Structure 1
Amino acid sequence: MGVCEICGRIGEVRDAVVEGAMVQVCSRCSKHGNVVFIPKPVALERKKEVESFEYIDVIVDNYSSLIKDGREKKGLNHEELAKAIAEKESVISQVEAGNMKPNFKLAKKLAVFLNIELIENVESSKEGYKNINFKDSSLTIGDLLKKE
C-alpha cells in the first residue's frame, strides 16, 4: 500500500519513470510513464553441511630420512641435488637434518625428483569448531581463545 505521487490515490503503487523522474504511481497513472519492474531478491537456500570432516595436505613426519634415503639412492650429494631442483645447498642440508621443515613447494619438488611421498592427505575433524556470533557486542578476545 502506498500513495500515488501523481493523483494522490491510496492503494497499490508501482515504480515508473515519468518525464525522466522515478515516481510511485497507481495503475491509472502508470500510462503516463514507463513502468519499471525491479525484481525482488530471492533468498537462496543454504545447503547444510553433511560431513563433519575435511581433508588437508600435510608434510609427513619422517620427511628428513625420506629425503636423505631418496638422495642416496640416486647417488647424489647435497650440491648436486640442490642444483637439480634449483634450491640452495644449505636448504637441502637443513631439511635433511630435520632443522627446517620444507614448505609445500619445496616438498613437491623433492617428491617429484626423488620419487618419494612427502605430502599426505589427512582427514581433519571439524567437531572442535564452534559457531561464534561476531555481531554480539559482548564478545571479547578471551571468548575467541577459550577451548571447550
Structure 2
Amino acid sequence: MCAMICEMCGKEVPVTKPMMVEGTKLNLCQNCAKFGDEYKQTNSPSGSSAAPVSKTVIDERLQRRERRMQTKDIYSTTTRELIDDYGPTIRKARESKGMDLDEFAKSIFERRSILARIEANELVPDDKMIAKLEKALNIILKEDVQSGGAVGKGNQKSDGMTLSNFIKKE
C-alpha cells in the first residue's frame, strides 16, 4: 500500500481527503482537513466551480460580438439630426393638444421663455430636451441623415477637385 502526502503539512498518511482551502483544492490528512471546507465535485470538464452558462446566453453574447466585429463604412454613415422646422412642429403639436405655452411649460417642468425661444427657432434644444418634447407631444423631431461619401451623385461628373487633379500624368 502506498502512502499519500498531505499537501498542507507534508506528512505521509495512508488516506488524504480533497478539501477547499482559500479557493484551492488540496489533498489533506485528517488533522489538516479541519482547516478547509468540503470539496464539491462539478460536472464541468474545465474543473471550474462556476455555474454552467445557458445556451441562450452564449448565443446572445455571440450575436453581440458579431455585431461589434462587423466592418463599418466610415464614408457612408447615417446619423440622427434635428429636423429643420422643429419650432413650428413643436408649436403645432402643442396647440393640437389644446395647451398654451404656460400650461405646457409647467407640464414638462421647463421655463416658458426657453420653450418660446425653441418654438421660434431661436434656440436649438439639446438631446435631453428633444427627448422630453418628443415624449410629451408624441412627435418625432429627429430624422436620419446620410452623410459622407458621394451620396446621390451616381455617375454625374463632379465640378470640384478630384484625385486626378493631384496625379502627375506622364
Q: TM-score, normalised by structure 1?
A: 0.50
Q: Which has the higher contact order (CA 8 A, sep 6+)?
A: 1
